[in-house]
Amino acid sequence: MADTETLALTQRLLSFNTVNPPGDEADCMRFLAGWLSERGFDVTLTSFGTQRYNLIARLPGQASGKPLAFTGHLDTVPLGNAAWQYDPFGSQIDGDRLYGRGASDMKAAVAAFAVACVQNQAAIRAGQGVVLLLTGGEETGCDGARALIDSGGLPAVGALIVGEPTANYPVIGHKGALWLRCETRGKTAHGAMPELGINAIYLAADALNKLRDFSPGAAHPLMKHPTLNVGRIEGGLNINSVPDRTRFEVDIRTAPNLQHAMIRRRLTDMLGVGVSVETLVDLPAVLSASEDGWIDAVYRCCQPLHAAPLEPRIVPYFTDASLLLPALGNPPCIILGPGEPAMAHQTDEYCLLSRLAEAEWLYGRLIIEHGGVA
């Protein structure tokens, strides 16, 4: 069972509705800022829009060297159309499961590393210190992380832990994301006289057929093949008119061996001059060297929780690390959180209490280990 304080903090964070869109982290961030400040952290809240907030919390250390950083986001995806059996903001417990929107993705991790820092303050202050980077707006393309970087003042850090859901398995990287909005323009006309118009939906259909055969690039040894998915299409105003505009949005997931600028250029050339292409999200892939000394230390800490020997793994989703790593001095990075990856964005999302307890212990061990390997 997780520490009482960790469970209580997780439940409190889950009680806040931080669904994005529309995005409203204000009350949750203010609560957490107060909680951290009362426990000795130097806390800075920054706004990046109406009811949108990021938070930086620091515990300085006395030893020379760069601090350890944890990062997590407090916004969540919408509830979806399916009915929930459990109150998404009720923090209900059923057996080993703690239910709530954001339980796995990723408020449980935020609570676990915050409490681990409080419990290990002596080691932190005797060592190189700790920085917590808590963001909003991650679910819609790392908007909060981008604003946090633009606000300036981020320190160089010795290592970064991203608390996204991995069932406490250490993950050394994730795919990049390139989201594109494509648009075709036609000419409107009466639906009874389509020969007088140019149907933008037909133009989009031709473009989509080309996309079915488009390859973003070569496979990566660890991240395998890049993927492409058309996730949204919009066109036409009414049934009895020829549509003069159609938009469709493309989600491409990539690896470090692929350059987004090159992918976009190839895709644009293939679609031709009749299709305009706009970049919505451009997040590079993340991959730390598995032979890095700190990564090796993380593996050693995590190994007792897993029966089989640990091996290098990546996840397909993106994280704030895509943007934060360059701003933090490109430290080694591990993705490690108590959430269940399969529960992210699901109806009746939950986190296992046993995983939460493991994460609290793991984060504490990594805080202590950091002083010896960074």
Do residues 335 and 318 lie in contact, with contact meaning Cβ atoms separated by under 8 Å?
A: no
Q: Which residues of 243-271 are buried (b: 16+ CB within 10 A; e: fewer)?
A: bbbbbbbbbbbbbeebebeebbeebeeeb
Mark whether 24 is an active-site residue: no
The 3-state secondary structure of 215-277 reads CCCCCECCCECCEEEEEEEEECCCCCECCCEEEEEEEEEECCCCCHHHHHHHHHHHHCCCEEE
Do residues 367 and 122 lie in contact, with contact meaning Cβ atoms separated by under 8 Å?
A: no
Please tell me the distance from the alpha carbon of residue 296 to that of residue 311, in angstroms, as a whole number. Answer: 11
User: Out of 3, 24, 105, 138, which one is annotated catalytic?
Assistant: 138
Do residues 199 and 242 lie in contact, with contact meaning Cβ atoms separated by under 8 Å?
A: yes
Angle formed by the axes of helices 4-14 and 26-38, nearest 10°: 160
Q: Which of 346, 339, 282, 288 is nearest to 88 (CA)?
A: 346
Mark whether 75 is an active-site residue: yes
**DSSP code string of 59-81:** EE-SSSSPPEEEEEE--B----S
User: Out of 3, 24, 75, 183, which one is annotated catalytic?
Assistant: 75
Q: Which residues of 117-146 are buried (b: 16+ CB within 10 A; e: fewer)?
A: bbbbeebbbebbbbbbbbbbbbbebbbbbb
The 3-state DSSP composition of the chain as helix, strand, coil percent (nearest 5) reads: 35, 25, 40
Do residues 136 and 73 lie in contact, with contact meaning Cβ atoms separated by under 8 Å?
A: yes
Instruction: Show which residues are catalytic.
Output: 75, 138
